[in-house]
Amino acid sequence: MKPSFPEPPSTLPEAFERAAAHFPERGIAVFDSRGRASERRTYPEVLASVRRAAGRWAALGVRPGDRVLVCLPTSWPWFESWLGAMFQGVLPVAVAPGAAFGAAEAQIRKVEGLVERLDASRTVVTPGFRRDAERAGARRTTEVAITFEELSGLAPEGSTDRRPEPAEIAFLQLTSGSTGQPRAVAIPHRAAIHNAIASAQAIGAPHGAPAHEWAESMVSWLPLNHDMGLVGAVFQSLCAGLDLVLLPPGVFLARPRKWLENLGQHGVTYAPAPNFGYQLCVERLAAEAREGLDLSSWRAAMTGAEMVRPETVAAFCEAFGPHGFRPETFRPCYGLAEGTLAVTFDLEGQGVRTRPLPAGAEDAGTGLSEVVCVGSPVADTEVRVTRPDGRALAEGEIGEVEAKGPGIFAGYYNDPAATAETLADGWLSTGDLGFFHRGELYISGRLKDLLIVRGTNLMPHEIEWLAESVTGGGGALRTGAFSVARGAAGEEPVVVVEVTERDPEKLGEIGHEIRSHIGRALSLPVADLVFVRRGKIPKTTSGKVQRRALREQYLNGEIERLDVSPET
C-alpha cells in the first residue's frame, strides 16, 4: 500500500517536516567512502539531527542571511552542516570537497576566492583541507574554517522553528564545480519545491501518475554540490516521500556495479545520471561483471547535465537489457542551475528519440549528426528559441534557448550586472542552442565557451591557467582549451599550448607536467595536448584567445603541431 500524499509544501523546512510526519518509515541511507556500509536514518531522525545542527549554527553566532560554505564529501556531516544552515536561515553553499589525499592547490584557491566574494561567515571543511589551506597561505579560508567535529561539539542554542517565506532565498548553488570563478545562483524556497514536484510529475507522466504513487526509492551517486545531486535526488526524494540511497561519487567511479546493484535492491526505483555515467557502466562492466544484476525495478533512468549521446544509450540497452533494463526506461531531460534544475523533460516514455540536426547546425560543437529530444517544458514553465535580437524562431530553426517559470532563479548573489545579462523580464537566457519539433525541445550545442565534461561544467580559462602555470605562459605565449566529441565517450578536453621550446624530449616532460597538474586540480584527463609555436593560436585584436576558431583549426587538421617525444 502506497503512503498517502499530502498537499505540497511551500518551503524546504516544511518539506522535511511533512516527510517526517507522513513517511516516517522512509528515509536516507548514505554509504561510506568505500561503499561497504551505509548508515540509514528515517525522515524523523533526519529532521531531528538537522534541527540540532541549526541550533549549533546559532550557537556559533551565524545568523540568517549569512553565507557558509560546506566543503565536505557525501556524508551525514554534509547533511547536518548544509541542511542545518538552511533551517537557520543561513545561505549554504555546497562546494566540491578537496582531493582524497589532501586538498588540491586549485581547490584551495577556489574556496579562498569564494570566501572573499561571498563574504562567507564560515566554511565547514575536513581537518586535512584546513591543514592544506594553512600551508598554502589561504588566510581568509583559514580564518573562517571549522571542522564538522568542532561544529557538532557545540551545544544547540535558540529556537529551531524558524518559518521562512516561500520567496526567501533558501541556498546558493554554484554554476561550476571546478576551479574558476563560479557564480552563486540564488534559489528561493518556492523554486526548489516547484522544481522537485514538477520533476516528479514529469517522471510519472508515462505511468499515468506522479512518481510518489508508483516509486519507492531513488538511488544516486551524484555529488551533492551538483544541482542534479541536490535538487534532482535529495529534494525530489523528500517531496515525493521516497527512500533515498546515496553513494559517494568516488564509489561509483571505482565500482559502478555498486550503483546498479542498489537499483535492484530497493523496490521500484528511479535514478538520474549524466551521459558519461551510463557510458562508464558499459565500459567498466564486461559480461561476466554484469552477472546477477536485476534492473527490472528501474522505471526511469533520467539522463541530462550534458549532451545525451545515442550511441551510449544503445550500448547501455544492449549491455543491460538481458538484466531487465528496458529501452523506454531512458528519460532525457534538460536543465541548468539557473533553472533550479529541470526545464524540460521527456513525457512520452518511449525511450530516446532523435532527429537530424537542421541546416546551419554544423558549428554547434557536439560532434553529433543527430540530437536527442529532451522533451517538453515542466509544469508552469515556458521555453522558447530566439534569434540574437530576441525574436522567437519557428519550429526547426536553431537559436538560443530561453526559459521562464517559477523554477527560474532569483539572480546571481551580489552580482546585478551578471543577473541583468542573463535574466530579462523573467526570461532566462541559457546560452544553449536548440530547436523545437512538434513542441519538444532538442539541444544542439552551446553559444558560450563553457565545457561540459563528464557532466561537470568547466570554464576553458581554468584549464588554460593550469597549463600556463607550468609553462609560464599567459602573456605573449598563450594557451587555448576547448572540448571535442569522442564518440560515445562524449566531450573531452583538448589543450593547445604556445611554447618557445623545440626539443621533443623537453616538450615531453612539459606535457607530462601539464597533464599531471590538470589531473590533480580537476580530476580531469586531457584527451589531446598540442604544442605549437608562438603566435599560432588565433586571437582577437585585444589579445583574447579565439577558442572557436582554434577548435575549427584542430578539427580540420590545420594546426601545425610541434614534435613531442612519446613519453607524453
**DSSP notation for 520-559:** HHH----SEEEEEETT-S-B-TTS-B-HHHHHHHHHTT--
Which domains, and CATH codes, for the chain?
Answer: 38-163 (3.40.50.980), 187-446 (3.40.50.12780), 459-555 (3.30.300.30)
What are the residues whose beta carbons fall under 8 Å from the beta carbon of 28, sequence distance 6 or more?
Answer: 40, 41, 43, 46, 79, 234, 237, 243, 244, 245, 246
What pLDDT is stored for residue 178 in this prediction?
37
Nearest to 178 by CA among 278, 109, 125, 92: 109
Place of cell 541550533: 55
What pLDDT was estimated at residue 99? Answer: 56
Please say whether the beta carbons of 385 and 392 come within 8 A: yes
The pLDDT score that the predictor gives to residue 101 is 39
Specify burial of residue 549 (Cβ count, 10 A radius: 0-12, 13-18, 19+). middle
382 beta partners: 404
Cβ–Cβ under 8 Å, residues 200 and 219: no
C-alpha cell at 269: 526505483
Backbone phi, then psi, for 170, in 5-degree steps?
A: -90, -40
The whole-angstrom separation of Cα 146 and Cα 62 is 12
R_g (Cα) of the chain, nearest Å: 23
Strands 479-485 and 491-499: antiparallel
Question: Which three cell numbers, joined as nine digits, stand for 40?
Answer: 540509514
- Beta strands 217-220; 243-246: pairing state: parallel
Q: Please say whether the beta carbons of 461 and 180 come within 8 A.
A: yes
Q: What local confidence, expressed as pLDDT, does residue 3 receive?
A: 47
Residue 544 corresponds to which cell in the numbers above? 583574447
Query: CA torsion, points 267, 273, 278, 280, in degrees to nearest 10?
Result: -110
**pLDDT at residue 60, rounded to an integer:** 96
Residue 345 C-alpha cell reads as 523533460
185 and 408 Cβ atoms separated by less than 8 Å: no
Per-residue pLDDT of the chain (568 residues; tens, 9 = 90+): 344 456 789 999 999 999 999 999 999 999 999 999 999 999 999 999 999 999 999 999 999 999 999 999 999 999 999 999 999 999 999 998 865 434 467 788 889 999 999 999 999 999 999 999 999 999 999 999 999 999 999 999 877 678 999 999 999 999 853 334 689 999 999 999 999 999 999 999 999 998 888 999 999 999 999 999 999 999 999 999 999 999 999 999 899 999 999 999 999 999 999 888 898 899 899 999 999 999 999 999 999 887 788 888 999 999 999 999 999 999 999 999 999 999 999 999 999 999 998 765 544 445 567 889 999 999 999 999 998 888 899 999 988 999 999 999 999 999 999 999 999 999 999 988 899 999 999 998 777 666 777 767 676 777 887 888 888 765 557 899 988 877 666 778 899 999 999 999 999 999 999 998 888 877 778 989 999 998 899 875 445 678 878 988 998 899 999 999 875 4
How far apart, in whole angstroms, are the C-alpha atoms of residue 375 and residue 441? 6
Side-chain-side CA neighbours of residue 468 (13 Å): 16
- Are 224 and 231 within 8 A, CB to CB? no
Give CA–CA dist 312/316, Å, rounded. Answer: 6
- Rounded CA-CA distance 173/227 in Å is 7
Under the phi-then-psi rule, with left for phi > 0, alpha for psi from -120 to 50, and beta for the rest, what region is 334? beta
pLDDT of 451 reads 75
Q: Which residue has the cell 501518475?
A: 209
Supply the pLDDT for residue 544: 65
**DSSP 8-state symbol, 207:** G
Cα separations in angstroms, 172 against 17, 86, 403:
22, 10, 20
